[in-house]
Structure formats: C-alpha cells, structure tokens
Amino acid sequence: MAEQRTGLSYATVSAPEHFVAEAIGTGQTPSFERLIPADRIRRLVVAAWHTAPEERREAIVAAVAEIFPDVGSSRTPRRASELVVAAKRALDADFLQAVNVRSLAERLDVTPATLIRSFHEYVGLPPYAYVLSRRVDLARQLLDSGVRPAEAAQRAAFYDQAHLNRHFVRLVGVPPGSYLRS
C-alpha cells in the first residue's frame, strides 16, 4: 500500500549562480519573482503565520489559489455569480456561527479555492472577512443601542473584547469604547 502524502512537499536545490547562468545561456540567473510575484509569496507567508486560527485556513487557501490560479477549479461547472449568491446567503444566515469554508464549499459542490476566489472577486472580501464585517456591524448596532463593548463582543460572536477591538478598529477606525463615547 502506497503512503499518501498530505500538506506541502518541497525539495531545495542550491547551485552557484554562475552555473545556472551558464546552463541557461543568458549570462544571468532568472528571477523567481517573474515566475511567482513576491507579493503572492508574501501573502502566503503572512497567512501561514496569521495569529487568528479561524482566519488561517482561509488565508492560506486564498494565497495558494492565487499562486496556482488554474488549480482547484470548480467540481461542478457553475456561474460564479450564482455561487457567490448562494455562499453569501449561507453566511448571512449563520454569521454568528464559526465559519468553515471547507464545509460551505462542499455544500456548494466547489473547492474551497474556487469559493474563496469567486467570493473575493464579487464581494471584495474573502468569506471570513465578510463574516467579520457582519459581526462588526452587529457590534456597532449593539453599541448604538447602549450595550457595553464587552457584552457587544460576546453577542456579536467575538472571542472577547480584544478580538472585537482589533477588527472594530480595522473596519470602523476607532476602538469600540471611543465609538461609544462619540
């Protein structure tokens, strides 16, 4: 029985630059950035080291899908707009629940990469960021109605007030306490 590999697999080969330049006959070594732009690699590295575990999987899938755009296409041919409408409907119905892009993609019969890529293209955000924006909107509404930041964080499905603060500042521009006082 053959061993099945999972995750990333890689090999590293190191050759002196002048050997490579001589072998390809250009007198200079090729740029890796021409093959895969540095910003795409940087997004993958940032995604892999992202601190929030609930965001990590989606960020890595999105970064890998961007590096390899032809890999992970839809299992079932489907218009991207229909896919996004169905995904958005599902996320809107359950935005206070944990986001599982893989199970959502399975329900919609597409790969996670296809779902993330299409959603980002049409909505302007990946699915998890969209859910976070919905949660921040709810927290803002709760704050507007007089709810304290710690309770608003809990009711809007953030882990704690610090989690709400981080995303609230990123999306609204001020911390919830300052927003409440303004």
C-beta separation of 159 from 148 below 8 A: no
What confidence category does residue 142 fall into, taking pLDDT thresholds of 50, 70 and 90?
A: very high
Q: Where are the domains of the chain?
A: 38-124, 130-181
What's the whole-number mean pLDDT along residues 140-164?
A: 95
Task: Name which residue leads in pLDDT, 65 or 163.
Answer: 163
The pLDDT of residue 47:
73
What's the whole-number mean pLDDT along residues 172-180?
A: 93
What is the pLDDT of the chain when averaged over all its residues?
A: 81
Closest CA to 120 of 65, 173, 53: 65
d(CA 45, CA 113): 17
d(CA 68, CA 91): 26
- C-alpha radius of gyration, the chain, whole number: 21
C-beta separation of 101 from 130 below 8 A: no
For the CA atoms of 97, 103, 107, 109, what is the dihedral angle to 10 degrees?
Answer: 150
Using N-to-C axis directions, what is the helix angle for 53-67 and 127-144, rounded to 10°? 140
Q: Domain 130-181 falls in which CATH fold?
A: Arc Repressor Mutant, subunit A (1.10.10)
Phi, psi angles (nearest 5°) of residue 165: -55, -45
